[in-house]
Amino acid sequence: MSNGWEEIAGDFIAAREQSSIGVDVARAWAQTLPNGAAILDLGCGTGVPIALALSKDGFRIYGVDASPTIIAEFKRRLPQMSAACEPVETSPFFGRSFDGIVSIGLVFLLSADAQRRLIFRAAAALDPGGHFLFTSPSPVCEWTDLMTGRKSRSLGEETYIRLLSEAGLDLVGNAVDEGENYYFHAVKT
């Protein structure tokens, strides 16, 4: 259920240990949220660096990751935050709605159908006016993930914009971080 991440959890944990890629983009996005907002982190990993940075900024983080080893590390690093070991495709998202949802490095790992469903599920889990931030390359493309060896795919910016709109979200911005990751920032209308 972890799409290959449990098998390489040790390597992933070691690789993320010193990373700060994406923190500036996530912090700038979080400034659009109310102080102390509840943020759902889909594919939260160990919490480093995104959830850790946002929690230090006073946000309440709810992390979801399907790897038992990786989510255990999230719980160790952020014991005051909520965490669930569940695949994002079927997670009940803690049975609540959120001011913001962030998904860094996850969406493109899913099949095209799973990406579509996740965008609609994320939109449904956002409060009115809530913000959704996720990463995927802008062009339509496929590649092999370097860590898991599994196929990754971007549906492309045009398709993501259409899906966001169909789900009741408006694209309000894009960003690129120092690792050349492409971000989509949408708001629930």
pLDDT at 14: 72
Q: What is the pLDDT of residue 180?
A: 95
Contact by Cβ (8 Å): 5, 27 = no
Along the chain (189 residues), what's the average pLDDT of each consecutive run of 10 residues? 68 73 96 97 94 97 95 96 97 98 95 98 98 98 86 97 98 96 97
Q: Residue 18 has what pLDDT?
A: 73
Residue 22 lies in a domain: yes
78 lies in a domain?
A: yes
Domain presence at residue 3: no
Residue 136 sits in a domain whose CATH number is 3.40.50.150
Number of domains in the chain: 1
Is the separation of the CB atoms in 99 and 139 below 8 Å? no
Give a yes or no: residue 137 inside a domain: yes
Task: List the beta bridge partners of residue 63.
Answer: 41, 83
| pLDDT confidence of residue 32 | 96
**pLDDT reported for residue 66:** 94
Range of the domain at 17: 9-188
Residue 1 covered by a domain: no
Confirm whether 2 is domain-assigned: no
How far apart, in whole angstroms, are the C-alpha atoms of residue 112 and residue 153? 7
Task: Say if 25 falls within a structural domain.
Answer: yes
What pLDDT is attached to residue 2? 64
Is pTM, for the whole model, over 0.75?
yes
Q: Which residues contact 22 (CB under 8 A, 6 or more apart)?
A: 49, 50, 104, 135, 177, 179, 181
Instruction: Establish if 66 belongs to a structural domain.
Output: yes
